[in-house]
Every structure is written in structure tokens, then in C-alpha cells.
């Protein structure tokens, strides 16, 4: 019991210290939020999920990702009911999280002055953009504000895409839809569009845990945004999500081909596979290893382990 109280005191002290001295979480704060991650980290402390895994994640479905993380006890990582610029341009990347609050004039002024003293430039809503790296996704809790809640327009949108090569997920709104739609490769998942500009909002935290709809988002979570909605995958589970989805995709490709050929019945393919079908599957992998939409190294791993 004493140990638990000590841990709680240290956590509250850390949070209080962060809130008192900076809106931007320190690398130590981010490491505390994401302690399960054991790999490389960026300078700001976020888990640095590899570019290879991010690229492979683009072929993962929302349902496949949800199934894996749910088995690990994560039940609040999906948010739906979005408006987007493009229906067919997924967003995949590492979350840089931002929490906005309704404006509190004196506090907002102090935080603005503090940010400028720390070397930040311009208005608060430009600060997260200056921090973006390639492969990041700007994820903001704009508390659902639409009118006067437009976090970016096409100028900032161009800057975001130049820095991150990615889009945004905002529980809020955007302006300049026409201009944003002309940025090739850029997409945005938002609650609405509005011609107004941002007013009466302030940044309360950057790289802190935030809430997007019903989802909890931690800095460094991997964002997978598709037409069905947005899921935020804990960094330490990304590899498992990708590899599980790849197995499913390969099994489906094999099964569909063998059904078209009449080799097996639907009942055989839909049920637990017999040893005969399993060996046929492994032979099919070897024969098609260089033409399948899964890295050769991953297929070789499957053939070596034969344990799925």
C-alpha cells in the first residue's frame, strides 16, 4: 500500500511539475505515458515506430487492428463519425497529440508569453506544426468546436504536409477546404468545415494524453485512419497488429485462389485447416514469395516458424 502511495505521489508531482512549467510534455513525461515501448524514441520522447511498419500498416484494416488491441485490453482506442477530404486516402503515422481548451484570457496570455520565451514562434496553433517530423500525424482535441474552431487552413495544411508527409485528425474543424483538397497526398479527418478562423481557443498541452471522441490517444500511438473511422494503436502493439494482419491477408489470398480453382470446399477453407491444407499453403507461399503484397522477409519468417 505504501509503495502504491509513493508511486501516485511521484506521478502527481510529475504532472503538476509539467503543468506548472510547460505546455509541452518533456521526454521523461512521454516515456512515462508510453512505458510499454522498449524501442527507439524520438528526441521528444515519443516511440519511434519504424517507417517500414508504418508503410505495412497501410494495408491493415480497422477491424484487424481493433481485434488485436482489444485482446490486450484496449477498449477505448477507436473514434468514428468523421468528415474527410478524400474517402480513399488513408492516414497512417505516429501521433503528435495536442489538447485545446476554451480560452482563458490571462492564462492564455501567460502561456503565450512563456512559449515565446522558450523559443516558440507565432500563435499557439502553429506550435505543434513546428514540432512535426516525417511520419507524424497531428492529432488534436479541439473539443468538437466547429464555428471559430478551425485549427488550420490551407497555409498551415501545406506546412503540415511538408514537415510530416501526412494529414491530420482533429476533433474540431478546418477552413479552406478547397485549398486543402489540392494538396496531393494530404487528408484530414475532422468534425466539420467552416469559413471562420480560430478564436477563443488555447493550447493546453502538447504530447500529452488526449481524448478524441471515445478514444484515448497517447503521444506516439500509431494512427490508422480509413473510411470506417480512426483507430489509435499503442506503439508496443504495432508490430503484432501488422504481422497478424499480414497472415490473415495471405490466408485469404490463398483460400480465395484455391476456392476459384475448386481445390477445396468453402467448409474446408472456413474451418480450421487440416495439415494437408497447411502444407499446401506453405508451398504456395514459397512459390509466390516474390509476388505477394507482404515483405519477403516476413514470408520467410512465416515459413521458418510455421507457428500461427
Per-residue pLDDT at 22 exceeds 90: no
pLDDT of residue 2: 42
pLDDT of residue 30: 98
Per-residue pLDDT at 26 exceeds 60: yes
Query: Whole-model pTM?
Result: 0.87
Contact 216, 76 (CB under 8 A): yes
DSSP category for residue 123: S
Cα dihedral sign for 207, 209, 210, 216? positive
Neighbours of 95 (CB within 10 A): 25
Per-residue pLDDT at 41 exceeds 70: yes
For the chain, percent of residues with pLDDT exceeding 90: 90
- Helix/strand/coil for 170: strand
Q: What is the mean pLDDT of residues 221-243?
A: 97
- Give the confidence band of 308 by pLDDT, cuts at 50, 70, 90: low
Per-residue pLDDT at 10 exceeds 90: no
- Give the confidence band of 218 by pLDDT, cuts at 50, 70, 90: very high
Per-residue pLDDT at 283 exceeds 90: yes
Annotated domain spans of the chain: 23-233, 239-305
Per-residue pLDDT at 225 exceeds 80: yes
Burial class (CB in 10 A: 0-12, 13-18, 19+), 306: exposed
Among 253, 257, 259, residue whose Cα is nearest residue 293: 253
- Give the confidence band of 44 by pLDDT, cuts at 50, 70, 90: very high
Query: Roughly what angle, to the nearest 10 degrees, separates helices 238-261 and 296-305?
Result: 80
Q: What is the mean pLDDT of residues 103-116?
A: 94
Per-residue pLDDT at 6 exceeds 50: no
Mean of the per-residue pLDDT values for the chain? 92
pLDDT of residue 59: 95
Q: What is the mean pLDDT of residues 81-99?
A: 97
Which residue has cell 512505458? 35
Q: Which of 6-20, 36-50, 117-131, 230-244 comes out lowest in average pLDDT?
A: 6-20
Q: What is the mean pLDDT of residues 1-20?
A: 42
Contact 230, 223 (CB under 8 A): yes
**Distance between CA atoms of 220 and 234, rounded to whole angstroms?**
8
- Give the confidence band of 9 by pLDDT, cuts at 50, 70, 90: very low
Fold of 23-233: Glucose Oxidase; domain 1 (3.50.30)
- Helix/strand/coil for 305: helix
Contact 25, 206 (CB under 8 A): yes
Amino acid at each position: 500500500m505504501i509503495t502504491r502511495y509513493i508511486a501516485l505521489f511521484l506521478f502527481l508531482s510529475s504532472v503538476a511539475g509539467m503543468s506548472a512549467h510547460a505546455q509541452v510534455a518533456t521526454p521523461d513525461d512521454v516515456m512515462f505515458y508510453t512505458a510499454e515501448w522498449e524501442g527507439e524514441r524520438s528526441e521528444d520522447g515519443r516511440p519511434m515506430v519504424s517507417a517500414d511498419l508504418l508503410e505495412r500498416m497501410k494495408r491493415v484494416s480497422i477491424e484487424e487492428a481493433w481485434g488485436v488491441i482489444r485482446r490486450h485490453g484496449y477498449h477505448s482506442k477507436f473514434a468514428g463519425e468523421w468528415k474527410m477530404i478524400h474517402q480513399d486516402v488513408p492516414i497512417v503515422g505516429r501521433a503528435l497529440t495536442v489538447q485545446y481548451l476554451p480560452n482563458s484570457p490571462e492564462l492564455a496570455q501567460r502561456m503565450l508569453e512563456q512559449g515565446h520565451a522558450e523559443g516558440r514562434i507565432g500563435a499557439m496553433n502553429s506550435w505543434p506544426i513546428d514540432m512535426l517530423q516525417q511520419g507524424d500525424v497531428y492529432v488534436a482535441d479541439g473539443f468538437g468546436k466547429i464555428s471559430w474552431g478551425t485549427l488550420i487552413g490551407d497555409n498551415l495544411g501545406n506546412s503540415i504536409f511538408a514537415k510530416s508527409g501526412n494529414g491530420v485528425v482533429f476533433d474540431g474543424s478546418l477552413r479552406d477546404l478547397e485549398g486543402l483538397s489540392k494538396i496531393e497526398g494530404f487528408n484530414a479527418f475532422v468534425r466539420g468545415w467552416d469559413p471562420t478562423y480560430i478564436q477563443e481557443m488555447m493550447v493546453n498541452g502538447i504530447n500529452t494524453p488526449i481524448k478524441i471522441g471515445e478514444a484515448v490517444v497517447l503521444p506516439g500511438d500509431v494512427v490508422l485512419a480509413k473510411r470506417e473511422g480512426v483507430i489509435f494503436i499503442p506503439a508496443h502493439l504495432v508490430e503484432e497488429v501488422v504481422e497478424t494482419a499480414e497472415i490473415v491477408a495471405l490466408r485469404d489470398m490463398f483460400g480465395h485462389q484455391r476456392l476459384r480453382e475448386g481445390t477445396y470446399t468453402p467448409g474446408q477453407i472456413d474451418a480450421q485447416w487440416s495439415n494437408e491444407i497447411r502444407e499446401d499453403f506453405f508451398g504456395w507461399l514459397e512459390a509466390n514469395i516474390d509476388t505477394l503484397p507482404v515483405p519477403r522477409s516476413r514470408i520467410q519468417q512465416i515459413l521458418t516458424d510455421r507457428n500461427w
